[in-house]
Amino acid sequence: MAAMSEVAPDEVLDLAALPGGRRAALEAVLMVIDQPISAAELAEALDLDAAEVAADLEALAAEYAEADRGFALRSINGGWRIYSRGDLAPVVEKFLLDGQQAKLTQASLETLAVIAYRQPVSRARISAVRGVNVDGVVRTLLTRGLITEVGEDGEGGATLYGTTTFFLQRMGLSSLDELPPLAPYLPPAHVIDELIEQGHG
């Protein structure tokens, strides 16, 4: 397996040189966003031509539809995002209902603990505490109904997450005040910010 390389925020990537090229790069970004994004925003983030990105998104949407994939790429109010297909809703609902009974992985439990004790908290801060990318785990916890979006960071506009009433019910708690006193063992906020700045988030 190839080692992951760190990329500076201002470094220009040669997307054409990557396997799958520009469209694969767009797909990769679309898989990790948690809210719709416009073609212009994608183009700016990846240093691409906005018209080319818009054309690529339309082509990908048509490609997915023609191939009868389990997901669709849709534009709603100018924002693009990958969604599960509407006609497969019964399958998704069955998975979600059954999935509530499945045990959480260690990674999910650790991430849930960070959110519970540091909420409201962004993905970057969660990653800084755990030292790994948490995108997939956060999506799982959202799907399980254990966490939810509770707002945006006033500085960078990052989505903030917190636990839900369902989380309290599953934990047998009536409020967050009943959580065991583990917060002192987590890094304080200023240490987390330093980790993010150092590139560990």
Distance, in Å, from the CA atom of 111 to the CA atom of 19, rounded to the nearest integer, reads 31
Cβ proximity of 21 and 15 under 8 Å: yes
- For CATH 1.10.10.10, list the domain ranges present in the chain: 15-85, 103-197
Cβ proximity of 59 and 51 under 8 Å: no
The closest alpha carbon to 34, from 123, 163, 144, 117, belongs to: 123
Q: How many residues does the chain have?
A: 201
The whole model's pTM is what?
Answer: 0.48
The CATH code of the domain at 15-85 is: 1.10.10.10
Phi-psi region of 156 (alpha: psi -120 to 50; beta: other; left: phi over 0): alpha
The closest alpha carbon to 112, from 184, 162, 186, 169, belongs to: 162
- Domain 103-197: state its class: mainly alpha
**Helix orientation angle between 135-143 and 106-118, rounded to the nearest 10 degrees:** 80
43-86 pLDDT per residue, tens: 998 888 999 999 999 999 999 999 999 988 988 878 898 888 87
Predicted pLDDT of residue 197 = 54
Predicted pLDDT of residue 160 = 93
Distance, in Å, from the CA atom of 181 to the CA atom of 109, rounded to the nearest integer, reads 17
Residues of the chain with pLDDT under 70: 1-20, 93, 95-102, 182-201
